[in-house]
Amino acid sequence: MNQLLWMAVGAGAVLSIEGLYWLYWRYVGSGSVRDYINEDQEPEGDYRILRKIKTPNQRIALVEYRGQMWIYGNGDVMFSTTEDENMYAEAMVHIPMAAAGKRNKVLIIGGGGGVTTREALRYSEVEEITAVDVDDVMLEFGKHLEAMVRFNRGSLNHPKVRTVIEDGRTFIENTPMKWDVIVIDVPEPTGRYPRLSRLFSVEFYRLLKERLEPEGAINIACSTSFWMPEYFWSIQETLKKAGFQVLPFHHFVPEDGEDWAFCLATTSPVDTDGLRMLVSTEYLTPERLKDMFYMPFYFANGQNQGDIQTDDNTVLLDIVSEADYEQDGNRKEYN
């Protein structure tokens, strides 16, 4: 009897050790998902990592969760096949399309998933869309991954769409082309990829201004982090420094508590009361559109706060780094 008991104890110990080793391998060691999925971005519940890919620019993970595809880059969700993605794409695309005088030529930087491209193709007057992404893997997912192609309705394979694998800054520096609408949908700079700061700098925004047709409009994605409003404010002030009229707006999603922030940039003033959706939209109702331009207290920049991001400083990176640090402790309170 004692022998059986000791055998059971021994077997339990072996299983415990193996379990601890697996946990170490998965979360700390060489197989760590933390290299590919940030803890605060991890799906709630069981999920499967279908592929992990390390490119010169980022670590990419293809994840299946509750029948949906989530694509991560450097730990953050880049795009997915969820309803949240539809809501985000509508805000990202249709507001600058409504604000622009024309919609013949559209540029999307950060267009690997093809969802924003799908929305831009809904306008019959669109003649050409240029979708730029730094990573060929992201564009391959948008072009050939069955679930993504079904979700984006084959947008990146459409004859009106030209895809470019290149850093967005480099592309802008080396092209003489101009566009009626420009969408900048890239994540915030982080310690893993600090060069993203060059896609938020005053020098880059001045280049965008040169590439914008008269009466054109630009939309900049400005993160969802309501606990770092300085990030949003600094982008606003940097755009103003580059010579733009700036209209900040946001899109709050009550279901998950996310509050996406955006900056609409134009060369002439835009009357938000006169903005109307030019195509049918599921989420951007007239009531919601009006509410999006009303800034809640934690986003409002009544005192013109915010520092200017340049090619030579780390304004946004410092804000993101501080906010990431404070997530583990007490978050700031903003009056």
β partners of residue 218:
182, 265
DSSP string, 110-155: T-TTSHHHHHHTT-TT--EEEEEES-HHHHHHHHH-HHHHHHHTTG
Q: What is d(CA 32, CA 272) in angstroms, rounded to the nearest whole number?
A: 47
Of the candidates 40, 135, 185, 291, the residue annotated as catalytic is: 185
Tokens for 164? Answer: 């470019």
Q: Is 35 a catalytic residue?
A: no
| Unique residue bearing structure tokens 């193709």 | 121
In the chain, at which residue ranges do the beta strands (DSSP E only) sit?
Answer: 48-54, 59-65, 68-73, 76-80, 105-109, 128-133, 161-165, 179-184, 212-221, 245-253, 258-266
Q: What is d(CA 108, CA 158) in angstroms, rounded to the nearest whole number?
A: 15
β partners of residue 133:
165
Q: Known catalytic residues? A: 185
